[in-house]
Chain A
């Protein structure tokens, strides 16, 4: 039943291996901690509600649970789940660049958890795209080749999402092989990493910018403070600090919740890693601000500053890019961890603002009736995030993600300490 068995060590031991494998898998499927926790109760309720809402949505159409209209075809699910979510997942390509291309060993300890996060983010948030498709059964069309819309930016983004998910899976697969104790498979997969990383970075450059390029044709609909022909470049540059800020933010939570899974190496260098990433963020944010200033001058945006939209624009760029950039620089210089974490949180808010301003808030800014998402759209978004967290937790509690030394070609013999979090 498991084709994977074919890859295991020696043929004579197959049956024996199989006999060991099935109970192992069954044991691993069981929760590893208390099941009834406030977190579990809340997220389970959200996911159940999401399941009900999605049943209604697929039975009776998108209009039943969303506020989308003929005027506003893309709402929260695209603007937040996909466009913002993918920017947040940018940490994976930046980290693999630092570790496998520049070989900065310092960051090696967090590369697995970051790639896992990136992979799951794509799986769930880009997967959320399927919920938004009116005719999802045709999603295969641009892939199998009966209708290549090669002139479409969306065609490029769709292909790159798919290829990048595969590349990320290859990047993460050694951890799976270690978990299963498949040494030979682990060796083969490890050899694929460099290729997958190089391919993945290239794909990321193109689809991070491509998500912005989608809106190039909405020229007359997006507020001039956010529309420019440079959207793709701004998206690419901001995805660098969006991704790294997410790594810092998510890391600070992960290290508390999964304390028992963190290896000695990562525990010892975690602060150094955060300060290093913070410095990179500060630098990239300065570059981003410089580019935004150029665009501001080039597009002659000054007249819009005196309007309410102008204040909103300044809040985004000064309050949630310039200020966190300064906080990052100062916090890293003085080695103040709380400051850097605050900077990360603010930078993330800035990215949410920027992506939503372009895709939802500033879209059809002149229309008398504005789009506001229904509570159901928000619940489904939360449901997608909850599902991702559950899968993330399941993997981190089982596979060598936060602790590298633990699984080198072998399944760990020491069972981990009882988890604080279940499942």
Chain B
């Protein structure tokens, strides 16, 4: 092994480390510890679907079909970022507005290799079409199966709720919250909304299950839900852990710089150790 080979390898590795060193901690932590959030009180929701119409209007999406009744089969789509689902639990009919949960540490944004999906400083998780390459890793990663992909377009977009990030930046409330006639949706800072949700549970202990969905699930979400019936009966996944999704790949990513810096010298040493008689041989085999 010649010295210049050694230097070459070390130089290459150093370059690769500089390029590929992961910084997951910075990338996955929201910049504010009190992001904007929405509290959904499903006991107040009347299933009028005004939020759907307001959402479509605010985001330039086609107007939803007004005749559809809320049902468990309804789901968000490329043209509908939010839907009201309906469930029959006992004698009770429960209607639930669903959309992107805007996780505090979103799997989609941490998995996005172009940073097209991004956790904005104030909390909304937004999509940038100029960066997205359409790999759909966000769809694979999202624990709530939120991102939607336009499979029937030659120029497909990822469609999902952006928490009206432009309106929020202007100091306005999201369109759906503004349109809700039943005060089922409450917009504010997440910590305040958690206080409010707990207060409602304490003051009306018989009206609610004693859980705020989104408080801890997948490390916490910006959309918080209150319910009178167990959440799994109204279409929520209750088997999700409280671990934030970026943590699942953190250890692997932390191993990357170690492997990149430690393996090349190890291989160099091995190669030198086995040198012996073949010192000058090159790729071709025979000298």
Contacts and interface: CB of A to CB of B under 8 A. Distances in A.
A132 to B, nearest CB: 8
Given A156-B22, A190-B284, A216-B248, A198 B156 contact: no
Nearest to B77: A70
Interface string A154-182: 11101110010000000100100000000
A136 interface: yes
Interface in A296-334: none
A209 B71 CA distance: 42
B156 to A, nearest CB: 4
A195 interface: yes
Nearest to A132: B135
Interface in B134-152: 134-137, 139-141, 143, 145, 148-152
Interface string B1-27: 100010011001100100111111011
A16 interface: no
Contact of B114 (A64, A102, A103, A138): A138
Contacts of B195: none
Contacts of A102: 270, 274
Contacts of A64: 152
21 contacts: A70-B145, A97-B267, A101-B271, A129-B135, A134-B133, A136-B133, A141-B133, A147-B116, A148-B115, A149-B111, A149-B115, A151-B23, A152-B112, A153-B111, A174-B282, A190-B283, A194-B271, A214-B140, A217-B110, A217-B111, A405-B285
B153 interface: yes
A61 interface: yes
B246 A151 contact: yes
Contacts of A58: 154
Contact of A202 (B130, B139, B149, B260): B260
A139 B260 contact: no
Contact of A134 (B75, B156, B239, B246): B156
The binding surface of chain A is classed by DSSP as helix
A405 B285 CA distance: 8
Interface of B: 1, 5, 8-9, 12-13, 16, 19-24, 26-28, 75, 77, 107, 110-116, 129-137, 139-141, 143, 145, 148-156, 237, 239-241, 245-246, 248-249, 251-253, 256, 259-260, 263-264, 267-268, 270-271, 274-276, 278, 282-286
A138 B145 contact: no
Contact of A216 (B116, B249, B276): B249
Given A61-B153, A150-B27, 12 more contacts: A59-B154, A70-B77, A74-B140, A103-B271, A134-B133, A136-B133, A198-B9, A220-B237, A220-B239, A405-B285, A405-B286, A408-B284
Contacts, number: 225
A216 B252 contact: yes
Given A71-B145, A74-B140, A198-B271, A147 B131 contact: yes
Interface of A: 58-64, 66, 68-71, 73-74, 97, 100-103, 105, 108-109, 129, 132-136, 138-139, 141-142, 146-156, 158-160, 163, 171, 174, 187, 189-195, 197-199, 201-203, 205-206, 209-210, 213-221, 229, 232, 404-405, 408-409
Given A154-B135, A156-B20, A61 B259 contact: no
A218 B245 CA distance: 9
Contacts of B267: 97, 101, 197-198, 201-202
B113 A61 contact: no
The 4 closest A-B CB pairs, nearest first, are: A134-B134, A63-B151, A151-B27, A73-B136
Given A101-B271, A194-B5, A229-B248, A217 B141 contact: yes
Contacts of B149: 62, 70, 73, 134
Contacts of B130: 138
B137 A214 contact: yes
A216 B111 CA distance: 11
B113 A149 contact: yes
A160 B20 CA distance: 9
A195 B8 contact: yes
Contacts of B141: 217-218
Contacts of B113: 142, 149, 152, 154-155, 158
